[in-house]
Structure 1
Amino acid sequence: MRYQFVGTSELTQTPAVAVVIDVMRAFTVAAWVFARGAEKIVLASSEDEALALKRRHSEWIAVKDGAPSDGFDEVNSPARIAASDLTGRTVVQKTKAGTVGALAVADAPLALCASFLVADATARFVRAHQAEQVTFVVTGDDGRADEDLACAEYIGHCIGSDSVDVAPYLQRARYSDAAADLTEGLHRGYKGIHVDDVDYCLEVDRFPFAMLVSREGPLTVLRPVAVAVE
Structure 2
Amino acid sequence: MSHDLCTPLTSILGYIQMIKKGNLPKEKHIEYIDIAERRAKDLQSLLSDFFELSIIESSDYYIELEEININNILCEVIASFYSSLVDKNITPKIDLPEENIMIIGNEVAIKRVLQNLISNMIKHCKEDIYISLKKENNKAVLTTINKCDDFKEEDIDSIFNRFYKKDNTRTNKNRSTGLGLFISKSLMDKMDGEIYAEVNENLLHIFCEWNLK
TM-score, normalised with respect to structure 2 = 0.26
Q: Please say which structure displays the higher CA radius of gyration.
A: 2
Structure 1 or 2: more helix by fraction: 2
Higher relative contact order (CA 8 A, sep 6+): 1
TM-score, normalised with respect to structure 1 = 0.25
